[in-house]
Structure 1
Amino acid sequence: MPQQTTRSMATQLSDVDYITTLQARVKELEAENANLLSRLAHCQCSEVGKKVYAPDDKTAEVTEPKISNGKSEETTKKKPGYKTRYLSHHSKRYVALKVMYFGKRFYGFSSEAQMEPSVESELFKALETTRLLVGDKKESQYSRCGRTDKGVSSVGQVIALFLRSKLKISGVNNGSSGEFVSEEQLEGELDYVRVINRELPSDIRILGWCPVPVDFHARFSCSGREYRYFFWKENLNILAMENAGTKLVGEHDFRNFCKMDAANVHTYMRRITMFEIYATDVRYEDNQLWVIKIRGRAFLWHQVRCMVAVLFSIGKGLESPDVIDMLLDTNRIPRKPQYVMASEAPLVLQSCEFEDLKFICSSDSGKALHAHLVNECKIFQLQTAIFHEAILNCFLAQIKACHQFKNPSHQFKDPRRKAPISLSCHDQLSVSSGT
């Protein structure tokens, strides 16, 4: 419509009518845009899978013709000033991912602390590289079950978000709430475990995935969490620690067993549903590895490490088991006493429990995952062997120095050298010839 006609119509209509007309037109355009996106998502042509680009300070790929054997072929070339967008027009489904990670080199799980590297940032890098994301965190409806601290590991962390799907929109859960999808809707889907694990660093792995309804939340849908803390027995009184630990079971005010977070926490009441201490099969010389297992629905900041620290004080005989009752009585001790938390390195988020959640891992992905974990164990075993050799060398050096101090005329013999020295070739020939 010409500009003069538009101006004349605007002058004839009142302001309210003019705004109403514009709003109606916007709705028409939005409906048309949604219709086009829906048609594009069902399109089976090869152009749908190509990348979409937007101006930015990063590089992108553009196609250029290339002549080969008299035929024109397309090649890709980096062009500055463009950035890849999320492919929101693809089919998507809401999934939960089970994540394991070794927390030694990470500044916690969450990337919100602006400390790198974090487990979460590495996960999203892999998802971006594999082009599985359909939007940013908010658009992907991202949620996580827990925020483990720096150095803490996990073999059962769970996150949930929308990921690109290989199936058509009509065949997957594309945004409607309701029950979990059936097994028939999993056939032909992307192998998320295999695809993501290929881009993750060696200390992070996806253990499985599961389709979930969009009203699922990794944190608030969780019915329970289990932590395990590994420690060497040494001279600890395990019976005293076990008797004290049973006092933690039940619903209590744990403000004296956590780090205060007044800005985000309004109640310190938490319920511990299970507490156990048991020995493992791992031994080193005369020492044995033990485990503290604690289960509850939710935990406060540093709660597990604080509880373990108090239990260690009891095991060392520095405190009596009755100190647990005192710390749980907030009328008697309204403020947390000053004590050092237990180390973060032996702490593991073992599992996050959900109702009707069964994680999927294909046979090929399971074999690759098992091979990777076995290889990682071998690497750490090699490191253990090197440390053990260093300890042995230090021990032998001390014995040698002591021996030479007492008997300077005697030569020290390495006790590790038990096998006799082989004869030289000349000596062997002499022996065989009888000379």
Structure 2
Amino acid sequence: MRWALGVSYAGQAYEGWQSQASGKTVQDKLEAALGLLAQERVSTICAGRTDAGVHGLMQVVHFDTARAREATAWVRGTNAHLPGDIAVQWACPVPDQFHARGSAIARRYAYVLLESPVRPSVERGRTGWAFRPLDEAAMLAAAQLVLGEHDFTSFRAAQCQAKSPVKTLHRVDIHRRGAYWRFEFEANAFLHHMIRNLMGCLLVVGRGDQPASWMAEVLAARDRKVAAPTFSPDGLYFLGPRYEDHWGLPDRTAAYDWLP
């Protein structure tokens, strides 16, 4: 039987999502917990891998098992074996045709940023930081220039394994609440470090170091060297994938509205 799970996690303590020999990844911890509950080895496939230090509000995974359990048992039982910074939020039985990654029609991320002359303290690891004032109108203008289908090579990490740099960026929303900024991105898929590289460029524009039109120049160059340095992973959150309605899966978790 195939199950889909919605999983949330704080990324500071882990070497990203994908399993590593060290065992210090979110996938390793989740599969170990599921294995204890299922009393068999469990392999998961996720909707979108996250890097070290990146958080997940609703990572979606699927796995196959012969073990019969109720949905509540997969949630509570798995959580009983997980560290406190990882939690299964929901569990749903799905048809064998469902694929956590392949069935996703879009993916969503948010970046939370503190604008302050003083570095983060209690929010350390949970928010990025800008110590200079930012111009919202300039950043919004720059963001409009990268919407749509483009070759995002300028925003792609050297180690990216994607077959094509062409992606479709559907939406970039930027708003401020007090000292905190929330940047929200939605695309059909993202390249490795794409959002962190977009953030670096948006902040260059927001600080006034480059005009908004510079973003179009960076995009057209198709050269990573012309873009800003990769920004910190601390404030990056995977909000979750989008699926077609017929799969009957939740669209978000409560934590979506907890972010500024």
Say yes or no: TM over 0.5.
yes
2:63 matches 1:161: yes
Q: Does 1:358 align with 2:248?
A: yes
| Gapped regions of structure 2 (runs ≥ 5) | 117-132
For normalisation by structure 1, the TM-score amounts to: 0.51
Distance 1:190 1:232 in 2: 37
3-state SS, counterpart of residue 321 of structure 1: coil
Q: How does 1:170-249 map to 2 (within 5 A)?
A: 191-234=73-116, 235-249=133-147
Superposed CA offset, 1:76-101 (max 9, x none): xxxxxxxxxxxxxxxxx200000000
Partner of 1:108: 16
Partner Cα separation in structure 1 for residue 219 and residue 240 of structure 2 = 26
Say which structure, 1 or 2, has more relative contact order (CA 8 Å, 6+ apart): 2
Residue 25 (structure 2) pairs with residue 118 (structure 1): yes
Letter matched to residue 144 of structure 1: C
**RMSD over aligned Cα, in angstroms?**
2.3
8 Å contact kept, 2:156–2:224: no
How has the CA–CA distance of structure 1 residues 215 and 240 changed in structure 2, closer, same or farther, with 3 Å as cutoff?
Answer: same
Post-superposition Cα deviations, 1:24-77, rounded to whole Å, max 9, x if no partner, equal xxxxxxxxxxxxxxxxxxxxxxxxxxxxxxxxxxxxxxxxxxxxxxxxxxxxxx
| 2:1 is the counterpart of 1:99 | no
d(CA) in 1 for partners of 2:6, 2:42 = 20
1:251 partner SS? strand
Bigger Rg, which one: 1
Which letter does structure 1 place at the counterpart of 2:26? V
Q: The residue matched to 2:154 in structure 1 has which SS?
A: helix
Match of 2:220 in 1: 329
**1:291 maps to 2:182:** yes
Matches within 5 A, 1:33-182: 93-111=1-19, 113-130=20-37, 132=38, 134-137=40-43, 142-166=44-68
The sequence identity of aligned pairs, in percent, is: 27
Give 1:157 deviation, angstroms: 0.4
Cα distance in 2 between the residues matched to 1:335 and 1:194? 44
Aligned to 2:235: 346
Three-state SS of the structure 1 residue aligned to 2:137 is helix
Indicate how the Cα distance of structure 1 residues 190 and 208 shifts in structure 2: closer, same or farther if over 3 A, else same.
closer
Deviation, 1:269, is 0.5
Verify the 8 A CA contact 1:133 1:163 in the aligned structure 2: no
1:312 paired with 2:209, answer no
Give 3-state SS (helix, strand or coil) of 1:150's partner.
coil
Paired residues of 2:31 and 2:42 also in contact (CA < 8 A):
no
- The answer on whether the counterparts of 2:155 and 2:224 sit within 8 Å (CA) in structure 1 is no
Cα gap change, 1:339/1:222 in structure 2, threshold over 3 Å: closer, same or farther?
same
Give the match's secondary structure for 2:18.
coil
Matches for 1:266-285 after TM superposition, within 5 Å:
266-280=163-177, 283=178
Deviation at 1:236, TM superposition (A): 0.8
Deviations 1:177-221 (A, max 9, x none): xxxxxxxxxxx6662111111111100000101111112211111
- 1:227, 1:334 → 2: CA distance? 24
Shift of 1:260: 2.4
Structure-2 separation of matches of 1:126 and 1:135: 10
Deviation at 1:125, TM superposition (A): 1.4
Deviations 1:251-271 (A, max 9, x none): 011000120236x33321000
Amino acid at match of 1:206: V
1:250–1:359 Cα change, 3 Å: closer
C-alpha separation in 2, matches of 1:299 and 1:199: 31
Query: TM-score with structure 2 length normalisation?
Result: 0.84
Amino acid of the structure 1 residue aligned with 2:193: H
Distance 1:108 1:294 in 2: 20
